[in-house]
Amino acid sequence: MRISKDRLEKYRNLRRIFSEEDYINIQPIQRGGVLTEEAMKAILEFGDGYSVCDLCPPKSARLDMITSPPIKDFYHDLAEFLGMDSARVVTRCREAVFIAFKMLGRAGDYVIIDSNAHYSTYLAAELAGLRIKEVPNSGYPEFKIDLEAYNEKIQEVKKEIGSSPAAIFLTHVDYLYGNLNDAKIVGRIAKDYGIPFILNCAYSAGVMPIDGKEMGADVITCSGHKSWAASAPTGIIAFNKSLEEKIVMRSKIEGDLTKRKFGVKELALLGCTVMGAPLITLMASFPEVVKRVERWDEEVSKARYLVFELEKIEGIKQLGIKPKMHTLIHLESESFYKVSLSHKRKGYFLYEELKERRIVGIQPGLTKHFKFNTYGLSWEQVKYVRDAFFNIAEKYGISHS
């Protein structure tokens, strides 16, 4: 079918709605994915389709075997950076989680997950045919995961089906409250029971130092577009030697007529994953990522500062564990909520007031509970955000000290 010129017009000159130059974007999922200069340049160089495949080695035709650009080296460096034995780049963190679930479990098996896990963790388990058991959290206002309860949940599964869960899974830093979990505790439990431990570092790896060995992780999953200054879609699955044969099992299928076989290809990756620009952005930003994780303490102190300041506004309270150990902040705001009840723009007023002040990223319509992320903001920008909130509070007669 021909598509009319009019209908195609909207695809010309596509522009970003909120550019980094014009707005302070505090959208939680977007702070860690802002590209470096190097990555921006690399995108132009490698924008064409399968742009990294020029020199794919004919005998071991696989993305991780390409040496120019240095993808093979990159995978080794990635693994080392995460304190793991091997790594592969995949399309998204959720794909990494799915691959781990699929390759470690069999249909009907259980996987134990924390109750603050990302929705995609639940879907990954569902698609892999696994059942889940959730580890409880403390509820309002901390929502702290009871890490020792992994023990009970393992026992529960054993009692119920007579065998161990296929894996235990912990979200290192959750997307709801930005709580940082002490992964070592779960790593130790996993080791006691001899069950593989998957640690989801979507919000941690790439912004803070991660040592998988020290935490006792068998698999680490990461999100390039969330936390590694890379374009979507990019993710990382890193794993230890002991699980290599399972996670990156080779293809065994054979054509019934042709006897064709593809024994070089890694099954769960369907051969190759990210074969162009997004992978290159991940690589181009890597030197900066290696450096920036060393500045994590400074990033956390900005988050703590902003929480300390905003809690001076009447009715504002940080949810999740205090003090903040991560830059994702969840606030409860009875006072802004009260304003929304009688405002003609309802809950949208807060978003609109902030936008007028060139701050975006708080979900339109939310006032009672909202999230944002200070990662990578300068101190000047952090103070600007504080002043904007103070200013809006004053405008609506909400006091602050």
171 binds ligand PLP (CB under 6 A): yes
For 40-108, give the DSSP string: HHHHHHT-STTTT-TT--STT--GGG-TTTTHHHHHHHHHHHHT-SEEEEES-HHHHHHHHHHHH--TT
Measured CA distances, 72 to 78, 89, 327 (Å): 10, 11, 32
Among 206, 212, 235, 320, binds ligand PLP (CB under 6 A): 235
- Number of residues this chain uses to bind ligand PLP (CB under 6 A): 16
Interface region with ligand PLP, contact rule CB under 6 A, candidates 8-16, 39-47, 90-98, 139-147:
90-98
Indicate if the alpha-carbon torsion angle 331, 335, 337, 343 is positive or negative: negative
Kindly give the interhelix angle for 348-356 and 379-395, rounded to the nearest 10 degrees. Answer: 130
Is position 320 an interface residue for ligand PLP (rule: CB under 6 A)? Answer: no
Widest CA span in the chain? 78
Selected from 31, 62, 88, 92, the binder of ligand PLP by CB under 6 A is 92
Instruction: Determine which residue in the list 94, 133, 326, 330 makes contact with ligand PLP, applying CB under 6 A.
Output: 94
Backbone phi, psi, residue 339, to 5° = -60, -40
Comparing CB distances to ligand PLP, the nearer of 99 and 306 is 99
In the complex, minimum distance from the CB of residue 232 to ligand PLP, in angstroms, rounded to a whole number = 7
Residue 373 CB, shortest distance to ligand PLP, in Å, is 11
Of 62 and 92, nearer to ligand PLP (C-beta) is 92
Query: Smallest distance from the beta carbon of 32 to ligand PLP, in angstroms?
Result: 10
**Among candidate residues 18, 23, 66, 4, the one with its CA nearest the CA of residue 272:** 66
Give, as ranges, the residues between 20 and 79 that touch ligand PLP (CB under 6 A): 29
Is it true that the peptide bond before 233 is cis, omega within 30 degrees of 0?
yes
Pairing of strands 369-373, 328-333: antiparallel
Compare residues 174 and 218 and give the one whose CB is closer to ligand PLP.
174
Beta bridge partners of 334: none
Please choose, out of 81-89, 168-176, 371-379, 388-396, the segment that lies near ligand PLP by the rule CB under 6 A: 168-176
Please tell me whether residue 93 binds ligand PLP under the rule CB under 6 A. Answer: yes
- For residue 96, the minimal CB distance to ligand PLP (Å) is 8
Choice between 43 and 237, CB closer to ligand PLP = 237
Structure tokens at 377: 């903001």
223 binds ligand PLP (CB under 6 A): yes
Identify residue 290 by its one-letter amino acid code: V
**Within 13 A of 109's CA, how many CA atoms are on the CB side?**
20
The contact pattern for ligand PLP, residues 199-218, with x = CB under 6 A and - = no contact, is -x-xx---------------
Q: Give the range of 132-140, 169-177, 299-307, 366-374 binding ligand PLP by CB under 6 A.
A: 169-177
Query: Binding to ligand PLP (CB under 6 A): which residues in 95-124?
Result: 118, 120
CA dihedral 283, 329, 335, 341 (to 10 degrees): 50
Residue 228 Cβ, how far from ligand PLP at the closest point, in Å? 10
Applying CB under 6 A, which residues contact ligand PLP? 29, 92-94, 118, 120, 171, 174-175, 200, 202-203, 223, 225-226, 235
